[in-house]
A = this chain, B = another copy of it.
């Protein structure tokens, strides 16, 4: 299989820049948006006042760097490979460890869909832990930490904006478990990013096929597309055929950390028969994925046998796929969940590759009715206990959260999580603030996401308009990402995150001065903003652009406002 390059055109009038760190390999990618000058007529003469470039956070990776030749069939440059090598605490394995992984590799029927380039996996040397938390606790500032410190600050320094974010601050937050850098040593293509409440709010996108739809090419396109529009991390939730091969294609072409829910693949391996799931199959799956380069695993280890009964009291039962699978397993076997009983062993696998654990909320509410109930809060206590366990193994931790929560119950949710889980970063799915708007759940949930992230949630998982109804397509991914970029940015403004308001101010100034192109280029979706404007102007004279069709020239407040300014001057 050869995949054609995914077409993501560059953002207009902007350029990829790299900020050099102290570590020679640290070249932090950002996007610089150029602006047109402000034009004034003074004493009858046209005078131009330049407007400064605006630097924005850039998740699109090499795809928007014209200097890098992209070939989806080769994968992205492996930037972090040398950083990992330098630490000299890992080794390249002679072969992949997973039995299943070897089978897939050796199956000639899969040649057609296999990613064309193979890399041997890397693992910690015997007796070593290679997680960012491990280094942080030792007082080491890694290149990854320096990278994210620079990345979070954009051009704050040049603007004289005070910032608390230094490489040492990053290290301390990671050491304390309040932030994570998900960076598997086998995913050197990813650009480091940080998730923690004191950093800019991040957003995750979900892609992945299901038994009924979409193939590898489509999923890779979605991955690239999601990064292009602003997804900070990416979860491949594939549950259909060829999960192993699909994932390889995605990871090798993914400039952001990638997560999975390994139980999905484990279940596929037993043809969807929950009864046949075993710890051994799951363990092999973890190792398979660690060696492919997955950066974080959602593990529903907080779902216990005793929770099964609690769910029966609910309106919508258990709506977490992983949670429902594990609950069913516990009921069928009348045993405690193997994810819970083998959790230490899991952590000892993860710290060999630096895979973070995202503790799944199997008991998250699936409706307004079930929000903040006993099942949900009891599980949160268990997640707190598991957090401490993971930290004892130097494994970085995220805590997953709901779901469906009415606005008045969001603060209690956040508070409960902070206390029960010792300030480990919270990563929520929305939450949706009402159940009554299927086809618009990117909006019902953007409201909840903005509120909960303003209260300290570190990463929000996007919801697309297709939630509850079907698998999202490219357009849904774009709608979902932008809705969540909005929620995340609104939260950053609310938190007073250093530099957050620079882009708002620049765009508003451009708007006020009728610099239409700058208004578009500074926006989250330049293409769509421009289209809406131009479509309506098609029948309008273009000699004067100091208005839009919304109000027309005589009723444009900004136009009048500027006339007043002129009149006040006289």
A: residues with CB less than 8 A from B are 210-213, 239-240, 264, 267-268, 272, 274, 308-309, 311-312, 315-321, 323-325, 327-328, 331-332, 366-369, 404, 406-408, 433-440, 442-444, 446-447, 450-451, 454, 465-471, 482-483, 485-487, 489-491, 493-496, 501, 503-505, 507-509, 511-512, 519-520, 522-525, 528-529, 531-533, 535-537, 539-540, 548-558, 560-565, 567-568
Q: Given the known inter-chain contacts A519-B438, A536-B469, please indicate yes or no for A560 contacting B325, CB distance below 8 A.
A: yes
A334 to chain B, nearest CB (A): 11
Chain B contacts of A321 at CB under 8 A? 551, 555-557, 560
B539 lies within 8 A of A504 (CB): no
B493 lies within 8 A of A433 (CB): yes
A433 lies within 8 A of B550 (CB): no
Q: A311-B564, A438-B523, A440-B524 are in contact. List 11 more A-B contacts (CB 8 A).
A: A211-B553, A308-B564, A312-B568, A316-B508, A317-B557, A317-B565, A440-B525, A444-B490, A465-B532, A469-B529, A470-B537
A407 lies within 8 A of B450 (CB): yes
Chain B contacts of A440 at CB under 8 A? 482-483, 486, 524-525, 528
Q: Write the chain B residue with the least CB distance to A503.
A: B436
Chain B contacts of A555 at CB under 8 A? 210-211, 239, 264, 267, 321, 325
B470 lies within 8 A of A368 (CB): no
Q: How far is the CA of A550 from the CA of B441 in the complex (A)?
A: 14
Copies of this chain in its oligomeric complex: 2
Chain B contacts of A323 at CB under 8 A? 557
Most chain B beta carbons < 10 A, residue from A308, A325, A436: A436
A504 lies within 8 A of B550 (CB): no
B505 lies within 8 A of A315 (CB): yes
Chain B contacts of A309 at CB under 8 A? 568
A557 lies within 8 A of B438 (CB): no
Q: Which listed residue, B315, B489, B562, touches A317 by the CB 8 Å rule?
A: B562
A567 lies within 8 A of B328 (CB): yes
Chain B contacts of A469 at CB under 8 A? 529, 532-533, 536, 548, 550
Most chain B beta carbons < 10 A, residue from A308, A368, A503: A368
Q: How far is the CA of A511 from the CA of B408 in the complex (A)?
A: 23
Q: How far is the CA of A528 from the CA of B558 in the complex (A)?
A: 36
Q: Given the known inter-chain contacts A434-B493, A550-B467, please indicate yes or no for A564 contacting B331, CB distance below 8 A.
A: yes
Q: Given the known inter-chain contacts A328-B563, A537-B470, please indicate yes or no for A490 contacting B524, CB distance below 8 A.
A: no
Chain B contacts of A482 at CB under 8 A? 437, 440, 443
Chain B contacts of A561 at CB under 8 A? 311, 316-319, 324, 327
A554 to chain B, nearest CB (A): 4
Most chain B beta carbons < 10 A, residue from A325, A447, A525: A447
Q: Write the chain B residue with the least CB distance to A523.
A: B438
Q: Write the chain B residue with the least CB distance to A368.
A: B504
A504 lies within 8 A of B327 (CB): no
Q: How far is the CA of A369 from the CA of B507 in the complex (A)?
A: 11
Across the A-B interface, the 7 shortest Cβ-Cβ residue pairs: A470-B536, A317-B561, A367-B508, A211-B552, A210-B552, A272-B554, A407-B494
A490 lies within 8 A of B407 (CB): yes
